[in-house]
Amino acid sequence: MAETNLIFRSFASGSSGNCYYLGTKYSGILIDAGISARTIQKHLREMDLDFRNIMAVLVTHDHADHIRAVGTLGEKVHLPIYATPLIHSGIDKNYGVKEKLKTSRRFFEKETEWDLNGMIINTFPIAHDSTECVGYVIDYMDQRFMIATDCGSPNATMAECIRTTNHLVIEANHDEQLLLNGLYPTYLKERILSPKGHQSNATCAELLRNNWHDGLKNVFLCHLSQENNDPTVAYATVRDALEDVFLKPLSRTNASPVYELTDTPIKE
């Protein structure tokens, strides 16, 4: 592995908590912090990293499974917590964040490009029933990384971003038949299926089929439902939409391997 190659690792991906590392073997960022600070630190140490190697936490939206540890990371560990003004407002009101953000709060405007120590950050809107929700497009060296989690109905901007990215983390939350035939109450099924709910395996597959390009090398399926999905079902649904791409469903509760993101698909 080259010293400056981009690496990615999922620490957790699902309704119990979400957190991802993106960077190099020496420093990087966290995207979301919906698991405990202690668990995040454990996974960093497995990579020979610590909180001192983290430049910032980028927040996608203000639901508890994405922000549970931001107060601790911001105010006790002193990591900058980046979010839009609306997302920060939602974090302030969220009962799951015990330590409220003060000195660690950092703002950016949606769909405005900015530089974080050599990482070029941009965002795009996502339809979800939070105060506001964004996906991230991050350029580093000659690689482009994109994450779109907790997606309702896909939009044109998301599709445009997929057409330019090399490495993609995207929601494949549920199989519609498993959801409809499952034990969830009607109101919860309707919420998940709504235009501001969660993206199904089939919608994910269609989005990728329509926007696949030969520069897309690696796709990670995130935020799989425990009750209404299965990694093998998600993989099978999405696989046929892609050519010459490494495809991997991410575990809900277990950390993934460390993946090196280059201009060729990952080989496992």
* β-strands 28-31, 246-249 pairing: unpaired
Residue 191, CA atoms < 13 Å, CB-side half-sphere? 9
> Average pLDDT of each block of 10 consecutive residues along the chain (268 residues)?
85 97 97 98 98 98 98 98 98 93 97 96 97 98 97 96 98 98 97 98 98 98 98 97 96 98 95
pLDDT of residue 47: 98
pLDDT of residue 144: 98
pLDDT of residue 2: 61
Chain centroid to CA 266: how far? 19
pLDDT of residue 228: 98
pLDDT of residue 4: 86
Q: How many residues does the chain have?
A: 268
